[in-house]
Structure 1
Amino acid sequence: MDIEVTIFTIITHSGEARSSSMEAIQNAKKGDYKKATKCMEDAKEKLALAHEAQTMLIHSEAQGNKVEISLLMIHAQDHLMNAMTVKDLAEEFVDLYRNVMCRKQEVV
């Protein structure tokens, strides 16, 4: 296993997940819940790929193959945790926009 490739896999997929989550919020804000839902599905898929790469590193270390902690590794973990947080918040924002818009339409 090439650790640097795995680290960059985590960074890449985490960044894509974060971007998709933010895009979901923007689509929900515009009232396009179909696109928002698609973006959230994409974010979940990308996070799963990033998590899979992280799990490979964890399994490798658990098998006795020590992984050197580098600034790049910390950066990858930071990206993954931030992407997970943004995804969770995006889900809440999409629901919030959906509920607010539905109530707004009921009032009109």
Structure 2
Amino acid sequence: MEINHDKSVDVEKLATISMQVILHAGNARASLFKAIDSASNYDFKIADELLETANDDLTEAHRVQTETMQLEAEGIQVPYSVLFSHAQDTLMTVKSEQNLIKEMIKLYKRIGEK
């Protein structure tokens, strides 16, 4: 992240960071829904691989978000951005979907055992 000499975050860079969070969260969402689709067809190997891919994307999105928030905690002014707020909301929503889909896949695995 580029920091100006006046200790503020560059607005254009914040927009880029926001898009990175949205991109990784969106990729994770796509992998999660493919995973639950695979599990519904009892293809748990693919489902587990897709869960891992989704987790990797969510980890990256969370890392980028956290780095940005840490700047503000260090006293560096981060401007308000509707786009960054949307990115955080998207990340949080996909994280919740991840938790639910993981539980649904566990259920499919139990059904598949019977």
TM-score normalised per structure 2: 0.86
> Secondary structure of the residue that 2:76 maps to in structure 1?
coil
In terms of fraction of residues, the more helix-rich structure is 1
Matches within 5 A, 1:24-63: 24-63=35-74
Structure 1 position 90 matched with structure 2 position 109: no
Q: Give RMSD over aligned pairs.
A: 0.9
> Take 1:3 and 1:64, find their aligned partners in 2: how far apart are those partners?
16
- Structure 1 residue ranges, 4+ long, deviating more than 6 angstroms after superposition: none
The Cα of 1:9 is off from its aligned counterpart by 0.7
Match of 2:111 among 86, 97, 100: 100
**Percent identity at matched positions?**
35
The alpha carbon displacement at 1:59 in A equals: 1.2
State the TM-score, normalized to the length of structure 1.
Answer: 0.91
Matching residue's letter, 1:55: T
Q: Say if 2:14 and 2:84, in contact at 8 Å, map to a contact too.
A: no
Residue matched to 2:24: 13
Matched residue type, 2:18: I
Unaligned runs of 5+ in 2: 2-12
